[in-house]
Every structure is written in structure tokens, then in C-alpha cells.
């Protein structure tokens, strides 16, 4: 087989593979659809207290220690303003601001930051990149008590799944 024949076959095979992959992509979301109800409309409640925020920090740090993951953990009020923060020994310094950013976004947009990651990665919702103060990385979780948003927690320093695992362990003490 000549080099030219081999290259032609390889190119054609690549086109077929690309065509099959393209055909398997989900249809893009219909951004013109008008939902009957407002999504992510959790009402705001009385902000989490400092004492409870510090308890969440302790729960997240305990989970991080249990798993051997050094994390930065931030708890914010419903407006996204910081109430409590901890940087575990050895936690990545760049992730200090990221943990606070994740918490702020989860509070202000009233949804986990995982939703934005999924929107970009799986849903093709590239317009999310145009939203103010956006972070599309898991590890930010709203705190809901009695059906009302009382704040949010953000964790950073590991992979997105590690950040979310530590955050969830703490958030689950409130989110039932």
C-alpha cells in the first residue's frame, strides 16, 4: 500500500468518525422556549449566622482531613458576602479566591456551580460565559433551610469533584 493510499484511507476514516460523533451530539437547547415557572427562584431567607458558618467550615475541614485533601473553604450570606473562611495547611494559594468565588456565585445565582459547568460542557450554553461574576466549576453549593436560601459554601484546592465532595459533606448538614 502506498503512502498516498494509506493517507487517503486514514482521512476518510477520520471523516466517518467525526461524522458519527457529530451525529451523536444532543440537540442544542432551545433558548427561545419560555418556561411556565421561573427556574432557580428559591426565596431568600434570614442569612446564616457566623456560628453556623463556622460549623460548616469545621465540617468541610473534617471531610478534607478525612480524605487527605487540603482545601480552601468559604461560607457566604445570600448576597455572596463572606462570613467565614479557612485555608487548610498546604492548600493551594490560588484557590483561596476560587473558593470564595464559587460560594458567591452559588448564592447569587441560587444554584450549584455544577449547573454552570454542565451547561457549558454538556449543554452548549456558551452564553453563560457572558454572565457577570461567573464560575463554571463544581464546588459551590447554595445553603437552603426551610425552602429559603440562607447562604452558600464554596470549596477549592482539588479537582472539581473533590471540591464538590468536601462542600457537599458540609452543605448536607443544612440541606436536607
Q: Range of 142's domain?
A: 50-171
Task: Tell me the C-alpha distance between 99 and 153, whole Å.
Answer: 8
54, part of any domain: yes
56, part of any domain: yes
12, part of any domain: no
Which residue's C-alpha cell is 487548610? 88
CATH value at residue 111: 3.30.450.150
32, part of any domain: no
151, part of any domain: yes
39, part of any domain: no
Candidates 78, 100, 99; CA nearest to 160 is: 99
Task: Tell me the C-alpha distance between 57 and 64, whole Å.
Answer: 10
CA dihedral 108, 162, 123, 126 (to 10 degrees): 60
Overall number of domains in the chain? 1
pLDDT digits (tens), the chain, 176 positions: 565 554 455 444 554 454 454 456 666 666 678 888 888 889 999 999 999 999 999 999 999 999 999 999 999 999 999 999 999 999 999 999 999 999 999 999 999 999 989 888 888 888 888 888 889 999 999 999 999 999 999 999 999 999 999 999 999 999 97
145, part of any domain: yes
63, part of any domain: yes
Which pTM value belongs to this model? 0.81
Amino acid at each position: 500500500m502506498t503512502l498516498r493510499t494509506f493517507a487517503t484511507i486514514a482521512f476518510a476514516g477520520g471523516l466517518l468518525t467525526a461524522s458519527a460523533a457529530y451525529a451523536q451530539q444532543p440537540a442544542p437547547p432551545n433558548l427561545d422556549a419560555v418556561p411556565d415557572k421561573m427556574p432557580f427562584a428559591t426565596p431568600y431567607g434570614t442569612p446564616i449566622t457566623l456560628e453556623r458558618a463556622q460549623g460548616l467550615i469545621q465540617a468541610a475541614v473534617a471531610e478534607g482531613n478525612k480524605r487527605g485533601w487540603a482545601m480552601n473553604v468559604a461560607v457566604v450570606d445570600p448576597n455572596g458576602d463572606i462570613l467565614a473562611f479557612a485555608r487548610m495547611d498546604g492548600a493551594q494559594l490560588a484557590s483561596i479566591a476560587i473558593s470564595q468565588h464559587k460560594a458567591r456565585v452559588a448564592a447569587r445565582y441560587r444554584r450549584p456551580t455544577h449547573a454552570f459547568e454542565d451547561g457549558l460542557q454538556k449543554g452548549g450554553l456558551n452564553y453563560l460565559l457572558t454572565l457577570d461574576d461567573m464560575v463554571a466549576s463544581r464546588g459551590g453549593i447554595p445553603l437552603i433551610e426551610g425552602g429559603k436560601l440562607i447562604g452558600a459554601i464554596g470549596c477549592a484546592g482539588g479537582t472539581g469533584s473533590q471540591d464538590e465532595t468536601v462542600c457537599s459533606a458540609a452543605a448536607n448538614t443544612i440541606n436536607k
